[in-house]
Amino acid sequence: MDWKDLASTAVYTGMTDENESIWERVDGVDVAFIGAFLTAHLSLEKYITDYLGLRYPSLAWGDAKLTFSQKIALIQHEPAKPPYDEIYLRIKDFNSIR
């Protein structure tokens, strides 16, 4: 049997009553895709964090502890020429999928 057939996860469903679990098992999860997607997300966040630190070095980025969405909001008005002018919208889409 393929290991992907064995992969499963649990989804929070909320409290229904005391006899039922608040977790619902979901089988057949493509953990390789999810892992690759999350790795890409973390890589992109690292790139954005480094960019902000290089672009605005006098600010205390480590102390701010910004979320990914907050970092996107800070960079979304940076000038970019086509075809890169839509990159911030795509980054927002990428984050909403996560």
Residue 56 carries which side chain, given as an amino acid letter? Y
pTM: 0.67
Inter-axis angle of helices 87-97 and 68-75, nearest 10: 170
What average pLDDT does this structure show over 41-49? 92
Tell me which of 26 and 5 has the higher pLDDT: 26
pLDDT at 97: 78
Helix (H, G, I), strand (E, B) or coil at 11: strand
Of 55, 59, 44, the closest CA to residue 94 belongs to 44
Which residue range(s) make up the domain with 82? Answer: 3-97
What average pLDDT does this structure show over 82-96? 84
How many angstroms from the chain centroid is the CA of residue 78?
21
pLDDT at 88: 84
Tell me which of 80 and 53 has the higher pLDDT: 53
Cis bond leading into 83, ω under 30°? yes
pLDDT at 9: 66
Integer CA distances (angstroms), 91 to 47, 50, 59, in order: 12, 16, 23
Residues β-bridged to residue 10: 25
| Whether residue 61 has pLDDT greater than 80 | yes
The total number of structural domains that make up the chain:
1
Tell me which of 41 and 31 has the higher pLDDT: 41
